[in-house]
Structure 1
Amino acid sequence: MRIAVIDGQGGGMGKTIIEKLRKSIGEGIEILALGTNAFATANMVKAGANEGASGESAICYCCKTIKLDCIIGPIGIICPNSMLGEITPTMAECIFSTECRKYLIPVNKHGLYIPGVKDMQINDFIEEIVKEINSSKNT
């Protein structure tokens, strides 16, 4: 199973996702850390990603050419100009158009409000995603 974790800014959410995936699933998956910047990518690689790449060109290349089973990241990865402009319209389009399952963590930022999710913490969403991936990996 090949999973891309996409994050920006400091890569803190991506780092947490990768750590929880490694703890739950171990080395049985390949994790590709795609950061909008080198700092985010470095933090995700330190957390246990197999490989990392940074920037618009790398993210679009990986989404278009690498067979991914899923993408995980904050909902902003499909919103043009989100994450303080780190997600370009081209990146959002490439990520959204990639033919794989996308696990999007709802964060009440980017001018988005998603009803029904305000009572959950980011760690709760990540745990739910890890459980889902673990169960789909075994089927």
Structure 2
Amino acid sequence: MVIAVVDGQGGGIGRAVVEKIKAAMPAAHVIGLGTNSVATGQMLRAGADDGATGENAIVHNMQHVDIVVGVIGILNANSMMGELTPAMASAIGGSHTYKVLLPINRCHIHVVSVEDVPLGKHIDHAIEAIRRYIEEQE
């Protein structure tokens, strides 16, 4: 399984997600896809197997990954203070990959009816969803 983690701005959420994926599933191939080089660097330092930056990297890789993980804003054009372009959002949303989205209420999106828990708990839930999906595919 190839898992893409998409993040932007400072890359802190992507870093935390990569760390937890690699700890829970060391054999998974993780690609850190950053909207900027700082975010990509954070994910690489966290243990991502590969990393790439920018619009073309994200658009291209959506055709080649099995799972994509990120905050719900990765489906919204111009989120992350404009770092996530309309082409990126379209490629992510339009891909046939399994999407695991963290319900972060930013980027002018407010997700209702989800647990109000710390980010780390949401990431734990995401890791469990990824694990279940991989088991179903085997």
Calculate the TM-score normalised by the size of structure 2. 0.93
State the partner residue of 1:134: 131
Distance, in Å, in 2 between the alignment partners of 1:17 and 1:29 is 13
Structure number with the higher helix fraction is 1
Matched, 1:3 2:26: no
Distance, in Å, in 2 between the alignment partners of 1:132 and 1:33 is 19
State the partner residue of 1:99: 96
Structure 2 counterpart SS, 1:19: helix
Deviation at 1:58, TM superposition (A): 1.0
Contact kept in structure 1, 2:7 and 2:33, CA below 8 Å: yes
Distance, in Å, in 2 between the alignment partners of 1:39 and 1:46 is 11
Structure 2 counterpart SS, 1:107: coil
Structure 1 counterpart SS, 2:25: helix
Deviation readout 1:57-104 (Å, 9 max, x if unpaired): 11111113x1x1110001111101110000111110011111111011
Matched, 1:31 2:30: yes
State the partner residue of 1:56: 55
Q: How many residues align?
A: 136
Deviation at 1:118, TM superposition (A): 5.3
Which runs of 4 or more aligned residues in structure 1 lie more than 6 Å from their structure 2 counterparts after TM superposition?
A: none
Bigger shift: residues 41-50 or 119-128: 119-128
One-letter amino acid of the counterpart of residue 109, structure 1:
R
Distance, in Å, in 2 between the alignment partners of 1:19 and 1:86 is 23
Taking only aligned residues, the RMSD between alpha carbons, in angstroms, comes to 1.1
State the partner residue of 2:113: 116
For structure 2, the residue ranges without an aligned partner over 5 or more in a row are none
Structure 2 counterpart SS, 1:42: helix
State the partner residue of 1:46: 45
For structure 1, the residue ranges without an aligned partner over 5 or more in a row are none
Distance, in Å, in 2 between the alignment partners of 1:17 and 1:110 is 19
Calculate the TM-score normalised by the size of structure 1. 0.93
